[in-house]
Structure 1
Amino acid sequence: MKFFRLDSSIHIEGSVTRALADVVEQEWIREFPDAEFVHRDLGLHQLPSVWPDAEARRVAPEDALTDEQRAASALAAELVDELLTSDAYIFAVPMYNFGVPHQVKQWIDMIITDSRACDVNIPLLPGRPAVLVEARGGGYTPGTPREGWNHATPYLERVLGDIWGLDVSLATAELTMAHAYPAMADLRDLAREQLAEAHASAGRHALGIAKGLGQRA
């Protein structure tokens, strides 16, 4: 069994998404102690800014390619290989400035330059299971002042689910900055409840996926 994990938080200590991803990973290790994990950490190791070269590689004649375009294309192929050779996935993505982190968008853009992923009408990973763990500093649910400002989740659901064909389960913690801002002090109990539920949800999703994979093995 082989699992893929993507981290993207720029924080290590105190990262909610990393902690939630740990819950999923630990559950899978318990079920599959000999499993292999492929870990791509975009928070610690951002991809080089070579998307223009990778994109140009798609249309440039082979004999006209530059060394930079060939290298960018090789990186895109490596990213796709990591996905195609895995059985299940963890995507740990915090919301930054109402959307996905720059490094996650860059990763997705690079993948779509590869010939195996460029046709968005053909799923890259049809039916494979994934857990998407998210963290948002404020509240964005219906009825809150920021309702409609969450541009991260809809985008990720489109890419991971609708384009790549993954069966995505979601575990989300909101109000994660309540502990740090006096203006959010009255939301701290709710924040703790939401965080606890996010951990529980991540564990449930992980166990359900592990059981399903075990039945197929």
Structure 2
Amino acid sequence: MPTLLHIDTSVFPGEASASRSVTATFRKEWEAQHPNGTVIYRDLAAEPLPHLDGLAAAAGFAAPDQRSPEQHAAFALRETLASELEQADTVLIAAPMYNFTIPSTLKAWLDHVIIVGRTSGAEQTTTSGTPTVVVASRGGGYGPGTPRESFEFVTNYLGKALGDGLGLDVTFVVPELTLARSNPAMAELVEASDASKAKAHEEAAAKAKELAARFAA
């Protein structure tokens, strides 16, 4: 049965988080198609990963039989995280915009799983082609032609890190204007916000069905 790797990163719980609510929609549909499938779940806000340190970084560039005992110990977490990514048939990532870019917890995950010569840096990596859905929620509007288009460092960064770096097949679902109902200054954007939210849930459900169908028995 297929395996879904689901990563949430929002600091807000449940329905208070736009990204979590949309990843929940995707996962619900995916599990409906594969009730006996495997889900590997990481909530990086509830259980943040340590930042990559020098020992773990150096270990990634050394052959396993050439690593010191300290490097072996430091590399253990990277091995676990990379293996989770490698065994996934589908990857689902919540990436809300915080201060124009991704949560630091997601960056820590990327630093651990990007291993040159294994998951990255080769023409064919151990993660090449894995379908990946990224829910890139944002409080305002940062799309093409908007005043803050140049401030958007979520989809452009993750497109490179996940797509070019890890070789994943990335699709973005983007609920935006998510602060409209809580920010009086955005009152005139509530309708657009609601429409964006509804579209994101529809896209997530449709993408889950599409990807689940690839692994139908």
Give the TM-score normalised by the residue count of structure 1.
Answer: 0.90
Structure-1 separation of matches of 2:51 and 2:195: 39
1:5 match: 6
CA gap 1:64/1:81 in 2 versus in 1, 3 angstroms: closer
Range moving further from structure 2, 118-127 or 91-100 = 118-127
Q: Deviations over 1:63-96 (max 9, x none)?
A: 77363x3332010000011011121111111011
Output the amino acid matched with 1:8: T
| CA distance in structure 2 between the aligned counterparts of 1:208 and 1:63, rounded to whole angstroms | 43
CA distance in 2, matches of 1:32, 1:79: 23
- Indicate the residue corresponding to 1:75 in structure 2: 77
| Distance in 1 separating the partners of 2:37 and 2:112 | 27
- 1:60: how far off? 6.5
**Deviation for aligned residue 1:184:** 0.8
Structure 1 segments of 4+ aligned residues over 6 angstroms from their partners = 60-64
On the 8 A contact 1:50/1:72 being kept in 2, the answer is no
Secondary structure, counterpart of 2:155 in structure 1? helix
Aligned to 1:134: 136
CA contact (8 A) 2:113 2:119 kept: yes
Superposition deviation, residue 160 in structure 1: 1.7
Which TM-score applies when normalising by structure 2?
A: 0.90
- The CA distance in 2 between the partners of 1:54 and 1:33, in whole Å, is 36
1:115, 1:79 → 2: CA distance? 16
For 2:61 and 2:171, the matched residues in 1 are separated by 36
Find out whether 1:198 has 2:180 as its counterpart. Answer: no
Calculate the aligned-residue CA RMSD, in Å: 2.0
CA distance in 2, matches of 1:125, 1:63: 24
**Matched letter for residue 4 of structure 2:** F
Q: What amino acid is the match of 2:68? A: L
**What residue is the counterpart of 2:171 in the other structure?**
169
Paired residues, number: 214
Question: Identity rate of aligned residues, in percent?
Answer: 36
Q: Which runs of 5+ in 1 are unaligned?
A: none
Q: 2:122, 2:100 → 1: CA distance?
A: 24
Give SS of 1:94's match. Answer: coil
Quote the residue 2:68 is aligned against: 65
Partner secondary structure for residue 90 of structure 1: strand
Contact preservation (8 Å) 2:61, 2:116: no
| SS at 2:174 equivalent | strand
Matches within 5 A, 1:106-125: 106-113=108-115, 116-119=118-121, 121-125=123-127
Amino acid at match of 1:5: H
